[in-house]
Homo-oligomer: A and B are copies of this chain.
Amino acid sequence: MIAEIVSVGTELLMGQIVDSNSAYISARLPEVGYRVYFRQTVGDNLERLTQTLKLALSRADVVITIGGLGPTMDDLTREGIASALDEPLILDHDLQAELQEKFRQRGYPMVESILRQAYRPACARPLPNPNGTAPGLIAEKGDKAVIALPGPPAELIPMFNDHVLPYLRERAGGEPGVIVSRILRVCGMGESLVEDRIKDLMQGANPTVAPYAKTGEVHLRVTASAPSTEQAQAMIADIERQIRERLGNAIYGVDDQTLEGAVMELLWARGATVAVAESCTGGLIGHRLTEVPGSSKALIGGVVAYSNEVKMRLLNVPEETLREYGAVSEPTARAMAEGIRQLMGADFGIGTTGIAGPTGGTPEKPVGLVYIAVASPSGTRVREHRFLGRRSEIKWRASQAALVMLREELL
């Protein structure tokens, strides 16, 4: 089965928003047996929208539109689908009643224009939208279908998962294959080393194994196609086992799991606590750890020690260390990690110090030089890094390296 995605909105063509919705839908469609050969983006113009939909219908089994379902005169997706399918646009009285009820419940005045959202192509049925006012649509005609989804991701994603994926899976029922993907997330190992270890596994046609380099980590997408989800999952499990044999602990998580989430889980499992002393990362490690719900169980706190004064007074970094080796040095990172561990009474202490740039570098201590220390009950380890990139990348890579080191200690 072939699907085509049509994103609707002049704000997309003006570059005011980045179309992450179409990437999301593209990534999910293979799971239910659909391939995508084309995507199109068109503005809020009925003639061009109709032309775009007709082209998509000429070459795909299912066309999925994103956006243009709002209440304003610019929202033309309903009209465009009706026109491309040569169907009349009719007022759906049930939808009208639902919209009126939604507004009554929220105590909002019912604006006349909202009723535009109660219209649909005669052949279409509405999809409920618990997170907004715009209903989605599934319009079937002949052997083609057009599915219309609202643009806001908080409305689109639940509607796509709850209604569209099951519909598509059923519609593709006669087809032999489903495609299932799983992402293995690798940290502390560069892309070329990862590839080198699993070169032979990357040759396979089914499942396929494809690496993607992210800032400071590598993702391996394993994709299997099989007659059933269960069979595809079994195929993935088999190759995952082989990859884990080669990469071991470097795989920190799967799918959407973050490195900070994986580290938190290790801390919880050991009943351990952590505290962070951040110079060049400026609070980023604390920020990342506190993105994890429940992080207060393991994170006691931190100090952003931007000035030498703070490093000495709060973290007990000796003045001689700063004078002799400088703020960006192995001994300073070590003293910071040990100092925060003691100050906060934590099991683990992290210290970061470096030159994030763009200025402040010297030939001996260039931009990107970062020292990261982890103090633990069994001692303190420090690593020197030379990161490339801009200021925010260097900060991110340093936070990543710190989490990797803490994870190593915890394993």
Contact of A45 among B17, B22, B37 (CB under 8 A): B37
Within 8 A of B (CB), among A46-69: 48, 52, 55
Q: How far is the CB of A91 from chain B (nearest CB, A)?
A: 29
CA distance A40 to B38 in the complex (A): 7
Find the B residue at minimum CB distance from A284.
Answer: B287
CA distance A295 to B278 in the complex (A): 14
B37 touches A15 (CB 8 A): no
Binds B, one of A92-100, A122-130, A199-207, A355-363: A355-363
User: Which of A16, A48, A299, A357: most chain B CB closer than 10 A?
Assistant: A16
Residues of B within 8 A of A136 (CB): none
A287 touches B283 (CB 8 A): yes
CA distance A14 to B300 in the complex (A): 41
Per-residue interface assignment for chain A, residues 1 to 42, with 1 indicating a CB less than 8 Å from any chain B CB and 0 otherwise: 000000000011111111110111111101000001111111
User: Which of A45, A280, A300: most chain B CB closer than 10 A?
Assistant: A300
Find the B residue at minimum CB distance from A345.
Answer: B309
A303 at the interface (CB under 8 A from B): yes
A304 at the interface (CB under 8 A from B): yes
CA distance A299 to B18 in the complex (A): 33
Residues of B within 8 A of A302 (CB): 283, 303-304, 306
CA distance A310 to B41 in the complex (A): 52
A278 touches B282 (CB 8 A): no
Contact of A39 among B13, B23, B293 (CB under 8 A): B13
A344 at the interface (CB under 8 A from B): yes
Per-residue interface assignment for chain A, residues 270 to 287, with 1 indicating a CB less than 8 Å from any chain B CB and 0 otherwise: 000000101011111111
A37 touches B30 (CB 8 A): no
A305 at the interface (CB under 8 A from B): yes
CA distance A356 to B24 in the complex (A): 26
CA distance A266 to B303 in the complex (A): 24
A307 touches B314 (CB 8 A): no
B291 touches A301 (CB 8 A): no
A23 touches B27 (CB 8 A): no
Take A40-B39, A41-B38, A286-B278 as given contacts and tell me if A391 and B16 are in contact as well, using a CB distance cutoff of 8 Å.
Answer: no
A120 at the interface (CB under 8 A from B): no
A-B contact sample (4 more), CB < 8 A, given A17-B23, A276-B304: A14-B27, A39-B42, A283-B304, A299-B304
Q: Which residues of A does B touch, CB under 8 Å?
A: 11-20, 22-28, 30, 36-43, 45, 48, 52, 55, 212, 221, 276, 278, 280-291, 293-296, 299-307, 309-310, 314, 343-345, 356-359, 391-392, 395
21 A-B residue pairs with CB within 8 Å: A13-B36, A13-B38, A14-B26, A15-B22, A15-B24, A17-B23, A18-B18, A38-B41, A38-B48, A38-B52, A39-B41, A281-B287, A281-B290, A283-B283, A283-B287, A286-B286, A290-B395, A293-B357, A295-B306, A300-B310, A301-B310
